Amino acid sequence: MGGIIINISRSTCLVKCSFLLWIIYTHLICKIPYSPGQKLRRYVVPKLVSTFGAGSRISTNVSLLTPQRIHIGKKVGVARDVVLDGRGGLYIGDNTLIGLESLVITSTHNYQRTDIPISEQGMYTQEIIIGQNCWIAARVILLPGVRIGDGCIIGANAVVTHDIPEYSIAGGIPCKVIKKRE
């Protein structure tokens, strides 16, 4: 009587387990509110993302896209309903706060050619780097390729399309430096 031999490598198993954990996080764990959800996320998120610093907190309903390319520093706070897109690489520095309903998007559509529909031009990705000790206020949108310097404050509802120098207070659509922090 012959049996079926299944040869699954350790790396294949880890990839499948990581994907399954991401599915469980996305459809269940990220939606659990208050202390029970916070405790579960504190346990699960470090297993999904590349780096998760001590003392960091992820609130309710935070979406993690390609979490294995997301690096979260120490004592980072991410408020509810935030999208963290790791497709192009995402680095969040220590002691940074990201306000509710913000979008940190590292991938978007190509649109340069007019002879081809946008939907057929594919996507491009660029990493986003958020420095240390930053405050990204509510409903801010960070677009692919931006770098936010250390100590920056980005005002609510801003759309960040270019780099913001360190210790700047910036806001608006498109986001512009309003003044420097001293």
* Active-site residue list: 109
Number of H helices, E strands in the chain: 2, 19
Largest CA distance in the chain: 79
CB 136 within 8 A of CB 151: no
CB 179 within 8 A of CB 167: no
Element housing 51 (H / E): strand 51-52
DSSP letter at 164? B
